Structure 1
Amino acid sequence: MDYRLAPWVLTWDEVDPSRHRFDTTSARDIIRGLAPASTVPTPPSGSAGERHVIDWADDTGEAWADSMTLELIEQYGRWASGWRWARDEGDIGGGPVGSWCCPRDSITSAEETVARVAEALVEWRGWLEDLAARFDQYPLAGLSDPIRFQAWERGAVQLVHHVADRTGAGDAWYRHCAQVLTWFLARWGVASDTAERLVDQAIGGRFDSWAEPAETVVDDIAGQIAHAATTCVVDQARD
């Protein structure tokens, strides 16, 4: 997949709502005016499981969705690539979006499809705003140990449960979960590459598709993240 379209590589700077303006009210009209809105392909007749329908979705349908993503990025910025990050096994699976699934199921009439794109983008933006608000519930800047450690740990536990609930802990949900934890650290001053490494090390492949993690696993991962992040922040302050 073209990484310009991949939401799982987005950094916090690229999605932070405070950095990127977005007006929900005008979004629908703006999206109707984008070039792909006038070229919505007509799905073939037949059931979803028929080979020619699947082939159409993988070829024509996906190419159209990609073109819409590129137009949304041009209009709003890189953060908009997450509009089609659907739950479970969508065309980009494992995400938090319920308004869009995949070309096979989500492309219908032109009017319905464009409205569905707008709804999905608004939903994705709402999720980012929700995360930003949750990050701010754990203000880590300026805290001293052990309060800092407890805040990082508490925040990490809550975020894992929140992402699992939003995604339904479905197919590949853990990829977005790791990303959200990375964003949380980055929001409070940990460099993005360092945050990604710390989170990957803490999770260590212990999250699975179609399964919510055990509480003991979540607690252990949160503790590791809090310890590593606290040490990292202290080291940065010394430097």
Structure 2
Amino acid sequence: MGSGVRFEDYAAELLSRLGFRVIDRRVKVMSNGVEVGEVDLIAEDECGNRYSVEVKAGKVDVSGVRQAYTNAKLINARPLVLARGFSNDSSRALAEELGVRVIELEETVVLKPDELRAAVESAIYDLIDELANALVALMSMRNADDALEAIAQCGDWGCVCGRLGLSEDECGRWISGLRGELGLKASSLRALRAIVKLYMLIKGLHGANA
């Protein structure tokens, strides 16, 4: 899949978050039976107004503004451009004159789409790695059933430590030691509970198949 298609996917998702509904993609623009262009996205707002959406990976210039306006008129829609701002004051002035709405991505996102995708992938891989390491550590723990059961059932650390009969000081040290043993960072009880429940599920499935 090309970077242009990925950027359109990102743009479609952004429009959805802004209240639009994407109803079509890559629509051919015809004039007197001749194909004269293509619109990246067709979207509707909450009032049912239809927009011809041009998606620009960079900044929109005068030519891009004119193209968006012309294509929108030919398909009887309102012109909308998603871009990283205007290339100059002339393009901004023309957009205002022609009524071309421009959503500036720099106001909405910090990372470029490929950078954002890479960051999300990296975070997911880190999470999977941490989860796998914690599961392996849990499998090697002995005499920890009471602690794991408390973690799985309690909604806060006070409940966990209360069920284990630990004082406040003992509880803090135990939590720190548990995180270190499982190779976890400053994980919340919610995250740890999810790991424990997954471990119990795997253990139960393994026992059922034994």
TM-score (norm 2): 0.27
| Structure having the larger proportion of residues in strand | 2
Bigger relative contact order, structure 1 or 2 (CA pairs below 8 A, ≥6 apart): 1
